[in-house]
A and B are shown apart, each in its own frame.
Chain A
């Protein structure tokens, strides 16, 4: 326990306190002392709020689509997925780091990418610029596409496992024998059981995507930017006197995510107690 505190909690707290002090101008070579100026200017610009909202929407849509597709795949192909070859295929994306996945997406979907070239050689487009905007685009299609490709297989595996462990198949048969039709079984039995068992992980994945860095860095746009990209930009900026603003954003982000995580796990305890 003590070791866990030393390895996990102490460095985290130290870093957080350092960021907090930096954000109030109390440490840092160019800072002169306690000031609220950085907090004020961050809140005044509204950029952080926009970035928060934008990151949350991108993460939420990605998680929602991943979970829905994974659920459909897991329930539709339960038998097939237990075969060795298919399960190998589904494990494959899990081994691909985010940054590589982002590059794949870029290579495939950019205006000079693979699909654009195919479209050109078939004569569907006459100029590169007529290919639809799929990376670095306003709608963040590239980012979400990559998130889904990376995250979806994980959920398929997770759902398959829960399906087996919770004996959903037997429960479905029971429901059938009691007179339920197949859509009732799916919507009232299977999906609720699986989601109840996995919603913490789904929420954690949402937080994970909220703070993702490489994928939005490569496939994102200049404005609005996702949180991590924004924070790093603020920390690396040319105007050294404004580096503290980056720490302000980092502090806000840490607080929000920590609160979310605490809320998540305290509720989990409650549900465990209820059971």
Chain B
């Protein structure tokens, strides 16, 4: 009796084992040599698994109620959304690479320079595919805010999808004149102790990069490859500035919020008076949702703030590269971009170049309602600075912890 049980159990393990080992291997045909219509035909009836950050209600609205049905209708592609950003995507691809999974879980990912850098480091992306997409003709790849991602050339390995500029946010009802440089910031926090902090995440580190560029003396002071000597000198000044003033920070600088969403809430409740974030601080949608008061305004730093693009990439082991390409092409097209702007609000900036667009689309884009709570894109763009090399961010993360949080 026992031996039968044992046999059954062994068989069970065998079954488990074989189901793990028998990965279906998809024959790798080089679809980059196919014509676009052949690629569209291949994509027909397929399912594209899209992993994206789902933290923006207005963008989710665009994806779920516009993009998913439109892709189904136009190309017979089923778009499946799963949640995950930066570290999760990298961990997933790393794990699959380690396990030699040929047919990956995800066909398409939404990434920015940070993740792009990490995925390139582990050879996790497939490409170069962007030139192949018909929509690319409307994109100006000479624009360094599009073709260079955190100082790395994108080399057609990721397709631009959206752009956002970092901005600071304040409430005109509470603050008459917001600070626009580090000297003014010092005066501001001394007058309003407890109402400013630095989140220990992407947004906070971007703010530190903006500060560092100012300490460097010009908007372009951090451009170029990572420079350790420059970093050491500027970061020391930065930590000195923060440490000598942090007693006026939120919680007297003894603690820092883990992420900027917490800061957003504290701004809404009045605990903080000055916050910041990408996509112009997200003020347009947050005022519209009623989270922020109507007297809220976004503005840029005198020395400029970071402007960067976000991208769509295809993991190296995607099982449906054709489908992902067709979906990405549509998301980059004038139609996809225009509807994103209309549905997901004024703060979404298109990656298309107005001069390259056909006249009818150009008109449509120009007639989109203007922003209410943040400066015009053109005004902001004059104060745009490029994302510094990713090593700046990595070092800032480490040192912010050791030099500020733990002190």
Q: Is the CB of B255 within 8 A of A112?
A: no
Q: Is the CB of B121 within 8 A of A137?
A: no
Binary contact track A232-245/B, C-beta < 8 Å → 1, others 0: 00011111100000
Decide yes or no: A111 and B405 within 8 Å by CB, A6-B13, A28-B98, A30-B122 being known contacts. no
Q: Is the CB of A133 within 8 A of B251?
A: yes
The answer, among B13, B86, B271, B394, for a CB contact under 8 Å with A129, is: B271
- Asked whether A138 is an interface residue with its Cβ less than 8 Å from the other chain, the reply is yes
Q: Chain B interface: which size bin?
A: 35 or more
Kindly list chain A residues whose C-beta atoms are within 8 Å of the C-beta of B91: 235-236
Q: Is the CB of B118 within 8 A of A240?
A: yes
Decide yes or no: A128 and B255 within 8 Å by CB, A30-B122, A240-B121 being known contacts. no
Q: Is the interface of B mostly helix, strand, loop or mixed?
A: helix
Q: Is the CB of A240 within 8 A of B122?
A: yes
Decide yes or no: A221 and B255 within 8 Å by CB, A28-B98, A29-B97 being known contacts. yes
Kindly list chain B residues whose C-beta atoms are within 8 Å of the C-beta of A240: 90, 94, 118, 121-122
Chain A residues 143-171 with CB under 8 Å of chain B are: none
Kindly list chain A residues whose C-beta atoms are within 8 Å of the C-beta of B265: 112
Q: Is the CB of A128 within 8 A of B87?
A: no
Q: Is the CB of A238 within 8 A of B121?
A: no
- Asked whether B397 is an interface residue with its Cβ less than 8 Å from the other chain, the reply is yes
How long is the Cα–Cα vector from A223 to B90 in the complex, in angstroms?
26
Q: Is the CB of B122 within 8 A of A27?
A: no
Chain B residues 1-57 with CB under 8 Å of chain A are: 5-6, 9, 13
Please, which residue of chain B has its CB at the minimum distance from the CB of A28? B98
Q: Is the CB of B397 within 8 A of A112?
A: no
- Asked whether B234 is an interface residue with its Cβ less than 8 Å from the other chain, the reply is no
Kindly list chain A residues whose C-beta atoms are within 8 Å of the C-beta of B195: 129
Q: Which of A28, A112, A223, A235 has the most CB of B within 10 A?
A: A223
The answer, among A30, A128, A222, for a CB contact under 8 Å with B258, is: A222
The answer, among B87, B90, B256, B393, for a CB contact under 8 Å with A222, is: B256
Q: Is the CB of B114 within 8 A of A222?
A: no
- Asked whether B398 is an interface residue with its Cβ less than 8 Å from the other chain, the reply is yes
- Asked whether B335 is an interface residue with its Cβ less than 8 Å from the other chain, the reply is no
Q: Is the CB of A222 within 8 A of B271?
A: no
Please, which residue of chain A has its CB at the minimum distance from the CB of B16? A6
Kindly list chain B residues whose C-beta atoms are within 8 Å of the C-beta of A27: 98
Binary contact track A24-42/B, C-beta < 8 Å → 1, others 0: 0001111000000000000
How long is the Cα–Cα vector from A30 to B123 in the complex, in angstroms?
10
How long is the Cα–Cα vector from A122 to B265 in the complex, in angstroms?
23
Kindly list chain B residues whose C-beta atoms are within 8 Å of the C-beta of A238: 86-87, 114, 118, 390, 393-394, 397
| Residue positions of A touching B, CB distance < 8 A | 2-3, 6, 27-30, 47, 111-112, 128-129, 133, 136-138, 217, 221-223, 235-240
